[in-house]
Amino acid sequence: MERRNESSPSNPAASGTTDSGKLTPIGGASDSWLQIKGDPSIRERVFDQTRRASEFDRQVDRVLTIVERLFTEKGVFHAIVHFSSNQLTCWFLNDPFRYKVFVGGSVLDDGFVDSLPHKSPWIGTSVDSSVLHAILQEFKRLRLRDEHLYLRNGSLNIINGMVGLSFSCDGTHYIAADDFQRLSILI
């Protein structure tokens, strides 16, 4: 049985999921990649803005190492790295219905990861450690490669294997992790 949000003039980019959790494409798109265009006024002015380096940008390798450790050592199954605002939003296996937000300074403090209880990653993950590392490195590339079109935040859910991306042009992408780590250019 397929559940689907109905597309309407007020929501032309609506998409649902099937019971298996896979994206249900709209308009003939791939079943592993959904692109949603955002606010037209932001898209029209994207070349009038430039990315300003955040603290997460200046310490991007350290931030991504921390995120990787949260997935592999601390029981995080879904994380959003908000590069522009220096925050991590994480969902933990031991409390999956509540997210925790960690902001800049606390994330970058020595001992941040070690202050969290050790939890083994869930056995049923869809993303193995080599793919996890490749995805996080692609987040870095997409964040730093261009001053006008850049990644604002990237998310990964290792249980359903989905990557979410939000760009400076207000475009959003949802793509299967296996496909994402094989792609070289998304925008």
User: Across residues 136-142, what is the average pLDDT?
Assistant: 94
Q: How far apart are CA 15 and CA 128, in angstroms?
A: 27
Helix (H, G, I), strand (E, B) or coil at 106: helix
Give CA 72 to chain center in angstroms: 16
Domain boundaries, the chain: 55-180
pLDDT above 70: residue 15: no
pTM of the model: 0.76
pLDDT for the residue numbered 33: 65
pLDDT-derived band at 186 (thresholds 50, 70, 90) equals very low
Average pLDDT over residues 21-36: 50
What is residue 79's three-state secondary structure?
strand
Query: Across residues 84-105, what is the average pLDDT?
Result: 94
Q: Say whether 69 sits in a helix, a strand or coil.
A: helix
> What pLDDT was estimated at residue 181?
74
- 170: confidence class by pLDDT, cuts 50, 70, 90: low
* Res. 22: pLDDT tops 70: no
Buried-exposed string 92-126: b where 16+ CB fall within 10 A, e elsewhere: beeeeeeeeebebeebbeeebbeebeeeebeeebe
Which amino acid is located at 68 in the chain? E
Tell me which of 19-28, 110-119, 144-153 is least confident. 19-28
Given a contact cutoff of 8 angstroms between Cβ atoms, the answer to whether 70 and 156 are in contact is no
Rg (CA), the chain: 17
Residue 173, pLDDT score? 82
Query: Which residues lie below 8 Å from residue 8, measured CB to CB, with a gap of 6+?
Result: 14
